[in-house]
Amino acid sequence: MEVVPIPVDTYKLGFIGAGKMAESIAKGVVSAGVLPPSRICTAVHSNQSRRDAFQSFDVSVLSDNSAVVEDSDVVVFSVKPQVAKAVILQLKPMLTKRKLLVSVAAGVKLKDLQEWAGNDRFIRVMPNTPAAVGEAASVMSLGGTATVEDGELIAKLFGSVGKIWRADEKLFDAITGLSGSGPAYIFLAIEALADGGVAAGLPRELALGLASQTVLGAASMASKAGKHPGQLKDDVASPGGTTIAGIHELEKAGFRGILMNAVVAAAKRGRELA
């Protein structure tokens, strides 16, 4: 069947899987004005809290996954990786090339998604959990017959919950190790910074607030200042001052090597799971 362009001004978006990631994406799309909630749907079988979550911002909750596919031009599979095959095979007769298919299931490769669906108009996206606060770092890779216009549409959708890049799928394991797992490394760093503040005499609430805001501010500078992170670090570290004393301790403990090893280990585990 011929690939039919998705009607950009009127298309409908459906989520197969109504978990936190689907909710975050749908909320971002609505909040950014990319789509009204009336053009978004999902299906919830028995979990009332998930139904309530989507209905709280007026997204339609349908009876089953088949109804979602039937009512949607763009179908996002946001299910757990271990059930992706069964879900896609069940819906396969409905997954024609008139529909643009998207997967955010971690570790599930395009070649498998396309084979299960019998449709290579597929785009794989790797978002991360900060999508919940509109600050996702997402990467996408286009399948066989996904068009440039399809890519632009998905970039706009996921751009509503953060930033999105396009990359070859062969890089996705490394991307998983960095941006997929990376938020956990940063949460650990925030907790450790706050503990350090408490050890130095700060009240716990103040220490945690300062640690969180410091990481947020530093990340914003790294993203927007147009300087290499090493230069930004040098700008803070005065000769013989407090910051360089702290950096010295981090270097003695192998701080940078530890973070590098964490990314590589997570990437390796991603390849094993795939």
Residue with tokens 């599979």: 77
Query: How much is the CA Rg of the chain, to the nearest whole Å?
Result: 21
Q: Is 65 annotated as a binding residue?
A: yes
Q: Is 21 annotated as a binding residue?
A: yes
d(CA 176, CA 210): 28
Answer yes or no: are the C-beta atoms of 119 and 97 closer than 8 Å.
yes
d(CA 61, CA 234): 52
Q: Is 18 annotated as a binding residue?
A: yes
Question: Which has the closest alpha carbon to 263: 163, 178, 172, 148?
Answer: 178
Q: How many CB atoms lie within 10 A of CB 219?
A: 12
Q: Is 170 annotated as a binding residue?
A: no
d(CA 186, CA 261): 14
User: Parallel, antiparallel, or unpaired: how do β-strands 162-166 and 136-142 relate?
Assistant: parallel
Q: What is the 3-state secondary structure (H, E, C) of 141-176?
A: EECCCCCHHHHHHHHHHHHCCEEEEECCHHHHHHHH
Query: Which tokens hold the place of 34?
Result: 């990319």
Q: Is 20 annotated as a binding residue?
A: yes
Helix, strand or coil, per DSSP, at residue 194: helix
Q: Is 16 annotated as a binding residue?
A: yes
Answer yes or no: are the C-beta atoms of 42 and 61 closer than 8 Å.
yes
Question: Which has the closest alpha carbon to 41: 10, 9, 65?
Answer: 65
Would you list which residues are annotated within the binding site for NADPH? 65
Would you list which residues are annotated within the binding site for NADP(+)? 16-21
Would you list which residues are annotated within the binding site? 16-21, 65
